[in-house]
Chains A and B, each alone.
Chain A
Amino acid sequence: MIGALARMPSTLRTFGSSQVSNLVGLLIVAGALVLTLQHVLQHSASFFFQILIIGIADGTIYGLIALGYTMVYGIIELINFAHGDVFTLGGYFSLALFPIFGIAEGKPGFGYVIPLLIVAAITMLLCGVVNVAIERVAYRPLRHAPRLAPLITAIGMSSILEGAMYLWRGPFSLHYPDLLPLTRFNIGPVNIGVKDLIVIAFAVILVVAFTLFINLSKLGKAMRATAQDRDAAQLMGIDIDRTISATFFIGAALAGAGGITWGLYISSVDPFLGFITGLIAFTAAVFGGIGNIPGAALGGLLIGLIRAFSDSYFDSSWTEVLIFGILIATLVFRPTGLLGMRVPEK
């Protein structure tokens, strides 16, 4: 698997876009949709919408994490396996910060909005610093080494972070306080939780803000330039090391925010949460087109929806088969992902 991932860019090129394989891919998707529709019709509409909202909430958080994978891949062609654990670290940092800001379960209200946002900002900052340090220690010295070397150090960093969280707070899951309002309301037959809406809104705002930043800011421009052609960008006076550090920082800040949102949504965190969540987010990034920012957000959303619908309408044993089946099918039939790679050939 590692070897296959390391060789992926060349695979992307050799397979290219064959019309036949696209058609086969589409047929598989269509078949899955028909099967889902059949199951959906057996249940009520209100249930459908409830699962839809859960899927969107999960999906936007996957999207937040997937952005970090896709940015780092776009700029240095590295799959940062430690990214999922930086996401978990977001949950752990915020959990440690809550008491300092007087945040505790049982008395949620508007008074918590400001402290919660401050905790989120500090957590994002801390996660960013950790990821920049990881890049400096484990990836930068290997930038010109064979592709496999930084991939292995990435897996190593992932284990180190998991071990650190294990030693810090123990092996079992920690309860994440219920801070969001538990109120639910009905629109027609649809029952909606305020908590779900806040989670979705928070994640969407971050994704949009980030997209604007990449498209409009000077640093965003530098990142895009570095992704397109590192040497040319350097010749144009762009500080490559600083741009790469900034990419790691921003990616980790988004993952950290994802960690808080996830904690608030599912009420628990554990040291190994990031491993599988990271893999799913990575799948989302590949699904949307690795290196492509709107693609990662879209991929995350779709994976979240697939997961929620598969878990509730089918057997959850199928969910992982489905999600990683999608990863394989995407790589085989549409290696550029749903939205394709915006980064041109190097």
Chain B
Amino acid sequence: MVRARGLAVLIIATFVAFACGGSSGGSGSKGEIDIASDLPTSGSDASSGLPTQEGANFAVTRAATVRGFTLKFVPFDDAVNGVHDPAHGVQNVQAMISNKLILGMVGPFNSNVAKAEIPVANAAPLAMMSPSNTNECLTVTYPYCQSADGFTAESLRPSTVNNYFRVAAPDTFQGPAMADFALKAAPAGLGITKIAVWDDEETFGTGVANNFAKEFAAKGGTVVDRKSYDPKAKSDFHDFLASAKANGAQGIYVGGTSATGACKARGQMAGLFNPDIYYLGPDGMGDAQCLTDSGSMATGNMYATQGVADATQNPSAATIVTAYKAAYPGASNIGAYTFAGYDCAAILIDAIGRAIDANGGNAPTRAQVITALGQTKSFQGLTGVITLNAAGDQTTPTLQFQQVQSGAWVFKSQFAVGGTS
């Protein structure tokens, strides 16, 4: 009996202690605000999606609160069987919309997922902040967008108010930038005057290859061989390579991605070309799969563009990058878009903060967050100083050149490119 009463006292004491602890901790919090992410984080896509999610998560954890509201990170995975899936992405966005605490999302990773998600999020509305989408038609309506991609920036936004923003440079810059780089004399460039240009017959690949070829020819270079391949049917590139060689190409630019076999031909070059032959391509090529396909030809003269700046080149980002590396020490924790993911979450938190201020210190509506996001100016991000325009692009996005060294893609150089109007 005595023992039972003792237990009751102990339980009551514990309750009181917890209640006090709870109230003392909660006295500063005005409530919870959630930031979601939608990225492919399982299967083979996880190699690029997961490190991006970790970057965004790190930004939310590091901020912890905004204007007295507690921040929480809510990640979603849009991969089905290991590959990003637009329909699954839409389901995720619908789940986000039904969760009133979520005021914005980081993502998606892939342009075709963005194409499916933007209309749904736009109708809600829900702020989207993508670290890695590069399709130029997502933000700006070019004459070819409807016929080539089946949509325009306007058709994706039924409410006519833009809710979608991104930090990566659109595809329109990748081809011309690589062409200038290839033509420029060493060491600033590669000093190539004759080049073969291939594409994978896909919207993205054909677009970058044509833009590359146009710029290369306009600046005095010669495209000696122009070919397209069907990635489903073409696995033997020996004939393409023989043709490039017969035409005197000093290198090959492939408008394609690793998924469409852009680097298989590099693997077949062994013996036919010297190992120092140049092999150039867009961001879709700058990954580990490309190096696998290249085999023994994964040498220093492979270059790819990336749509975001390298945060490790930014001195003012050093503290946070070091802190991230301490929190996520694995080599696979840093991908090409990790710090872009961080920036996206940080920009969202910044915009939510300004929206709270504008709302008299109360929790803002989603529409208010979108308005604040569109007013982002000179934000000090890890990947650079970011200003967003009305269309959803950075005013001066950065392109990065990467080169293969000792079996890995490493930073070569980067520069700002003119933003879209």
Contact = CB atoms under 8 A, between A and B. Distances in A.
Given A44-B246, A171-B82, A317-B230, A178 B296 contact: yes
B306 interface: no
B149 interface: no
Nearest to B243: A312
Contact of A193 (B227, B236, B246, B272): B272
Nearest to B267: A267
A43 B246 contact: yes
Interface in B150-200: none
A273 interface: yes
A276 B289 contact: no
Contact of B242 (A47, A172, A178): A47
Nearest to A167: B81
A162 interface: no
A277 B235 contact: yes
Given A170-B82, A171-B83, A266 B264 contact: yes
B271 A50 contact: no
B235 A273 contact: yes
B271 A266 contact: no
B240 interface: yes
Given A172-B44, A172-B259, A317-B228, A47 B243 contact: yes
Contact-size category for B: 35 or more
Contacts of B243: 47, 51, 312
A312 B226 CA distance: 11
Contact-size category for A: 35 or more
Contact of B293 (A43, A106, A175, A275): A175
A308 interface: yes
A308 B235 contact: no
Interface in A263-297: 265-268, 272-273, 275-277
Contact of B292 (A55, A174, A265, A308): A174
Given A193-B271, A268-B267, A276-B232, A172 B239 contact: no
B4 interface: no
Nearest to A320: B233
Interface string A105-144: 1100000000000000000000000000000000000000
Given A265-B236, A266-B264, A316-B229, A47 B44 contact: no
Interface string B217-258: 000000000011110111111111011001000000000001
A326 interface: no
A56 to B, nearest CB: 11
A183 B268 CA distance: 13
B270 interface: yes
A43 B294 CA distance: 29
Contacts of A50: 242, 246
A57 B289 CA distance: 27
A172 B289 CA distance: 8
B107 interface: no
B295 interface: yes
Interface of B: 43-44, 81-83, 201, 227-230, 232-240, 242-243, 246, 258-259, 261, 264, 267-268, 270-272, 289, 292-296
